[in-house]
Amino acid sequence: MKKFLVLDIFSCKNFNTDKAVEIITKAFKIGKHDKQVLNRGREFPKNIQLAAEIIKEDRREIKTAKF
């Protein structure tokens, strides 16, 4: 029997995805994992490359923020 976990996290606010993965992998004692981040919402530009750049910059700001 294979043991596996599929988990979706939805948020209206920005958060540190790497920290979320760290917490979840420790809580469930996960050795190997795969992470996919999907950006959704009406506020994103229709141009996928422009939207990706906006998100990339937002994530840089979150990672460097001191909470």
- Looking at the 3D structure of the chain, how many domains does it have? 1
Half-sphere exposure of 31 (CA within 13 A, CB side): 1
Q: Is the dihedral of CA 41, 46, 47, 50 positive or negative?
A: negative
CA dihedral 41, 47, 50, 54 (to 10 degrees): 0
pLDDT at residue number 61: 79
In a domain, 56, yes or no: yes
In this structure, is residue 57 part of a structural domain? yes
Residue 26's domain comprises 17-64
- Does residue 46 lie in a domain region? yes
Residue 9 lies in a domain: no
DSSP label at residue 29:
T
Does a structural domain hold residue 8?
no
Q: Tell me whether residue 25 is in a domain.
A: yes
State residue 42's pLDDT score. 64
How much is the pLDDT for 24? 93
Reading the chain (67 residues) residue by residue, the pLDDT tens digits are 778 889 999 887 778 889 999 999 999 999 888 888 877 766 666 777 887 888 888 888 777 776 5
The reported pLDDT for the residue numbered 21 is: 92
The number of C-alpha atoms within 13 Å of 49 and in the hemisphere containing its C-beta is 0
Domain assignment of residue 6, yes or no: no
H and E: helices and strands count for the chain: 2, 0
